[in-house]
């Protein structure tokens, strides 16, 4: 990561992590994430996400979350989007619940 991400870039990166929680990014999940941003931002963040290790991903999220001041309302909206991605396949698996807890600790 060369420079800090914008809030939108961070949002897309975290949603990609949510889509990948069960080690399977479905087309439906990716389309949902694409609908929340412009094509250039999606491509940029998806490329970076794909090249990062799991450890890198959490480190980058943690670093960038602390660079932005999120209001409670923003965090609440963010959580809703995360659940929307988790539940795209109509299942909420253990791996997704574990990721949810980890992200909860990072975000709050």
The pLDDT tens digits of the residues spanning 7-38 come to: 999 999 999 999 999 888 999 999 999 999 99
Contacts of the segment 76-79: beta carbons below 8 A, 24+ positions apart: 78/11, 78/14, 78/107, 79/107
* Tens digits of residue pLDDT in 59-75: 999 999 989 988 989 98
The pLDDT of residue 92 is 84
Domain that holds residue 24: 7-107
Q: Which residues contact 50 (CB under 8 A, 6 or more apart)?
A: none
Q: How many domains does the chain have?
A: 1
* 2 pLDDT higher than 80: no
0.95 exceeded by the pTM? Answer: no
Domain membership flag for residue 2: no
Domain membership flag for residue 100: yes
Average pLDDT of the chain is 92
Domain membership flag for residue 68: yes
Residue 31 CB coordination number (10 Å): 10
The pLDDT of residue 90 is 83
């Amino acid at each position: 990561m060369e420079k800090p991400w914008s809030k939108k870039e961070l949002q897309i990166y975290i949603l990609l992590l949510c889509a990948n929680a069960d080690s399977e990014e479905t087309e439906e999940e990716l389309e949902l994430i694409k609908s929340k941003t412009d094509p250039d931002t999606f491509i940029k963040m998806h490329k970076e996400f794909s090249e990062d290790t799991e450890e890198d991903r959490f480190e980058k999220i943690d670093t960038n979350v602390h660079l932005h001041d999120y209001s409670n309302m923003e965090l609440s909206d963010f959580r809703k989007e995360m659940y929307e991605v988790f539940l795209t396949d109509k299942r909420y698996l253990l791996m997704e619940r574990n990721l949810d807890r980890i992200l909860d600790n990072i975000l709050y």
